[in-house]
């Protein structure tokens, strides 16, 4: 189909927030409720603050929420950071940092997340914290989870096996790795789909794929294929959504396996990476784009790579049956 130049729109993947004036910066920097002891008040306050963010950032988030983009990511760069960040030590073992006394990173996640949907957590992940520290964990260097480091984290949709998987995944960077080599990798189905044959596409649209329960949800033996059977692709045939986990998903027939291999190769050839730095907040459209991480070498010296993560759903009601009323923690058992 011919596309006239006037109908081609420039897609927005990145928003520069470094030029915030004092008023905009103070929305992020001014102290408020404690996100860990008074979570609901913190979230409401953040949502109200987000209403006052500069119009350009609200517009970018609105477009991303409604139409996404072909990359399935939106990177906000240059956001305000916690004032003492340079001296706050990276927490060990993904526990909350005992020396982080300000909550700018948490506020950034909650404010940006509120424009996309509602923050939720999962009881199996970091005890249901809404703001989760992603740090390299000693002994887990080779593990396929956020605590790993020296091995590439393979491409996955976040919690692909879960009936209430988040529509968005938010990552805020508090500290890069020592060598500045760790990349957050991402690959969208929009870019991978044109590399797949019609036959492979049609197989991927059928429920021929058994996924696995994540290591962090209790599958510590890393058994593959112990989760539900799903189609890999669903939704619009020309602009589909994607269920995919490179590590844990297995095909149920030989033909289906060929198609899954083709998708794996397509993802490997279209993926991109971003080296997150402090002040970066990456929004990932979890229905269109799979993500992972390159390998890096931790030092366990208190200044290792440190991200915080939040999950966002568009409709809280879907998971109501598995949440306590008024709470954000999803308690589905596996």
Q: Footprint of Fe ion on this chain (CB under 5 A)? A: 158
CB of 290 to Fe ion, least distance (A): 9
- The least CB distance from residue 159 to Fe ion, in Å, is 8
Name the percent of the chain in helix, strand, coil, to the closest 5. Answer: 30, 20, 50
- Minimal distance in Å, beta carbon 209 to Fe ion? 19
Nearer to Fe ion, 105 or 289 (CB): 289
Annotate 230-244 with DSSP letters as a single string: E-SEEEETTEEEE--
Give 28 or 217: the residue with its C-beta nearer to Fe ion: 217
CA distances from 159 to 81, 111, 214 (A): 28, 23, 7
Locate the DSSP E strands across 60-117. Answer: 73-77
Sign of the alpha-carbon torsion through 46, 51, 57, 58: positive
Residue 32 CB, shortest distance to Fe ion, in Å, is 28
Please identify, using beta-carbon distances, which residue of 80 and 113 lies nearer to Fe ion. Answer: 113
Q: Using CA atoms, how far apart are residues 16 and 3, in angstroms rounded to an integer?
A: 29
**CB closer to Fe ion out of 157 and 175:** 157
Which residues, other chains included, contact 297 with Cβ-Cβ below 8 Å and sequence gap of 6+?
149, 150, 177, 178, 179
Q: Which is nearer to Fe ion, 106 or 158 (CB)?
A: 158
Residue with Cβ nearer Fe ion (45 or 184)? 184
The minimum distance between CB 282 and Fe ion, in angstroms, equals 12
CB of residue 217 vs Fe ion: minimum separation in angstroms? Answer: 12
Q: Minimum CB separation from Fe ion for residue 142, in Å?
A: 16
Residue 256 sits at the vertex; the CA angle it makes with 252 and 262, to the nearest 5 degrees, is: 135
Query: Nearest-CA neighbor of 155 among 278, 275, 248?
Result: 248
Which residue, 35 or 166, has its beta carbon nearer to Fe ion? 166
Residue 27's nearest CA partner among 67, 4, 57, 1 is 57
Instruction: Provide, rounded to whole angstroms, the least separation between the CB of residue 78 and Fe ion.
Output: 24
Residue from 157, 145, 74 nearest 115 by CA? 74
CA–CA separation, 82 vs 80, rounded Å?
Answer: 7
Query: Which H helix or E strand runs over 46?
Result: helix 39-50
**Cβ proximity to Fe ion, 126 vs 200, nearer residue:** 126
- The residue sitting closest to Fe ion, measured at its beta carbon, is 158
Please state, in angstroms and rounded to a whole number, the distance separating the CA atoms of residues 57 and 189. Answer: 25
DSSP letter (8 states) at residue 74: E
């Amino acid at each position: 189909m011919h596309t006239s130049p006037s109908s081609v729109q420039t897609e927005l993947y990145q928003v520069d927030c470094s030029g915030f004036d004092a008023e905009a910066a103070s929305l992020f920097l001014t102290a408020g409720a404690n996100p860990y002891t008074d979570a609901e008040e913190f979230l409401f306050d953040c949502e109200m603050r987000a209403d006052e963010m500069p119009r350009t950032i609200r517009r970018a988030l609105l477009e991303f929420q409604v139409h996404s983009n072909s990359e399935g990511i939106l990177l906000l760069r240059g956001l305000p950071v916690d004032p003492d960040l340079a001296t706050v030590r990276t927490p060990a073992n993904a526990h909350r940092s005992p020396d982080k006394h300000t909550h700018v990173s948490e506020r950034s996640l909650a404010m940006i997340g509120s424009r996309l949907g509602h923050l939720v957590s999962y009881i199996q992940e970091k005890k249901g914290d809404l703001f989760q520290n992603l740090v390299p964990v000693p002994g887990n260097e080779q593990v396929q989870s956020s605590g790993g480091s020296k091995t590439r984290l393979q491409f996955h949709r976040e919690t692909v096996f879960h009936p209430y998987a988040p529509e968005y995944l938010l990552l805020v960077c508090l500290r890069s790795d020592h060598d500045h080599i760790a990349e957050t990798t991402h690959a969208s189905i929009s870019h991978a789909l044109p590399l797949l044959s019609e036959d492979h596409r049609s197989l991927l649209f059928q429920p021929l794929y058994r996924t696995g329960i994540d290591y962090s949800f209790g599958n510590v033996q890393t058994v593959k294929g112990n989760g539900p059977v799903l189609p890999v692709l669903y939704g619009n045939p020309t602009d589909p959504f994607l269920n995919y986990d490179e590590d844990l998903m297995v095909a149920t027939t030989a033909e289906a396996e060929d198609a899954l291999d083709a998708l794996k190769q397509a993802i490997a050839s279209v993926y991109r990476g971003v080296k997150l730095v402090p002040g970066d907040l990456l929004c990932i459209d979890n229905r269109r784009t799979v993500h992972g991480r390159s390998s890096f070498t931790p030092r366990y010296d208190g200044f290792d790579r440190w991200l915080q993560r939040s999950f966002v759903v568009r409709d809280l009601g879907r998971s109501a049956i598995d949440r306590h009323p008024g709470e954000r923690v999803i308690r589905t058992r596996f």
